Amino acid sequence: MAAARRKRAPVAAGLLLVLLLLPFAAAPSRAATPARSPSTASSTALFQLQGDVYPTGHYTVTMNIGDPAKPYFLDVDTGSELTWLQCDAPCQSCNKVPHPWYRPTKNKLVACADSLCTALHNGQGADKKCPSPQQCDYRIKYTDNASSLGVLVTDSFTLPLRNSSNVRPSLTFGCGYDQQVGRNGAVQAATDGLLGLGKGSVSLLSQLKQLGITKNVLGHCLSSSGGGFLFFGDDVVPTSRVTWAPMARSTSGNYYSPGSAALYFDRRSLGVKAVEVVFDSGSTYTYFVAQHYQAVVSALKGGLSKSLTQVSDPSLPLCWKGQKSFKSVSDVKKEFKPLLLRFDNDKKDVMEIPPENYLIVTKNGNVCLGILDGSAAKLSFNVIGDITMQDQMVIYDNERGQLGWVRGSCSRSAKSLSFLP
């Protein structure tokens, strides 16, 4: 993942500890205030999503943080673990954002000795020493050279549960006072920060598990017509029709991966070596390593009729125009064949990728390939991004060590979906 959303790839982070000279005292503890009994571990927090793949380029969730609670729009990212807000601490380099910058109070700082500070530093392969024992400094750097620098803080999150009640735990996240993302301050950013839902212990999901509020399970359903939903917990996970693949240990980082997969086009093998696959909601589009990308492009071009002509479009690198402008992928999908990933596990699980999950139609009426060449980001694995995860529930079950996916409508509220139990 990275903060420049259209072409972002999973994080390749290196941690740099930088002292923030804040006149704050470290928070004495990270005690939760769930206001519920430990039995709430069976609860599920539900959130509506906003956004789309095109033209918005991301899906966001509104998180209410602080006391009193204030809303913040966060980019949903399963490719990284640290949640952070653009923060007035004071801000050294920040974007214009939808809401006022988050302002920490002096009792919110996380000390260097805190276990989550140690976990964050260890996860980034950095020196465990802090410039100041009173605070936990971080710098997260992404593959597109974007970065966030700040300190860890704690504050209350108001989480809506499926039973219509709320819970307000105190959770740890990043107060980012120096963001290097695009042209800082020159344009209005669409989000106030990032919701990190990766596998590490700093992830909000892991913290909720430790507090006994939800199980370490999350899922999202991204609608191709815009919006969708996100959940933490397991009591809305379907009991049937889900394809489950065991999580593999990622060779490239602490990512959600079902392992290596072979690539097929129209049910025929493309004859390329199987490579690792990573699920990343922080990537708008899907990225393939060079050999896989070139094989897909060659197969696609070989199957197109003469009614489509390659054309330049500012939206994506590879696009075609028809004899008349397209209004949706439905107008042109008959020209394209489905892709398929066959995972190298005992069950040989498959993920089908129909044209709707790798094409977009732009405002110019052209159809474009939403699979990009990962060479620029020096990726050694394939990234399944939002475009390919649309119109299906994708489940990240850290309790059982498995990833699941099942097709269904994502355009209604979470409680009314047809594939819920």
Q: Comparing C-alpha atoms, which of 319, 318, 330, 335 is closest to residue 367?
A: 319
Strand partners of residue 73 = 62
Q: Comparing C-alpha atoms, which of 31, 192, 183, 199 is closest to residue 98?
A: 192
Q: What CA–CA distance (Å, rounded) separates 86 from 117?
A: 19
Catalytic residue among 52, 75, 77, 178: 77
Q: Could you tell me if 62 and 73 are in contact, meaning their C-beta atoms sit under 8 angstroms apart?
A: yes
Residue 403 φ/ψ, nearest 5 degrees: -115, 140
CA-CA distances (angstroms) from residue 118 to 173, 203, 207?
14, 13, 14
Round to the nearest angstrom and report the end-to-end CA distance of the chain.
Answer: 32
Q: What CA–CA distance (Å, rounded) separates 138 from 150?
A: 6
- Catalytic, 346? Answer no
Q: What CA–CA distance (Å, rounded) separates 30 from 136?
A: 13
Place of tokens 């489940």: 395
Q: What CA–CA distance (Å, rounded) separates 154 from 30?
A: 7
Q: What CA–CA distance (Å, rounded) separates 61 from 188?
A: 18
Catalytic residue among 137, 178, 280, 386: 280
- Catalytic, 88? Answer no
Measured from the Cβ of residue 103, the count of other Cβ atoms closer than 10 Å reads: 15
Residues 6+ apart with CB under 8 A from 114: 30, 136, 152, 172
Q: Which residue intervals of 39-190 are DSSP H helices?
A: 115-123
Q: Could you tell me if 205 and 80 are in contact, meaning their C-beta atoms sit under 8 angstroms apart?
A: no
Q: What CA–CA distance (Å, rounded) separates 381 from 378?
A: 9
Residues 6+ apart with CB under 8 A from 198: 77, 78, 79, 80, 81, 254, 255, 256
- So which residues are the catalytic ones? 77, 280
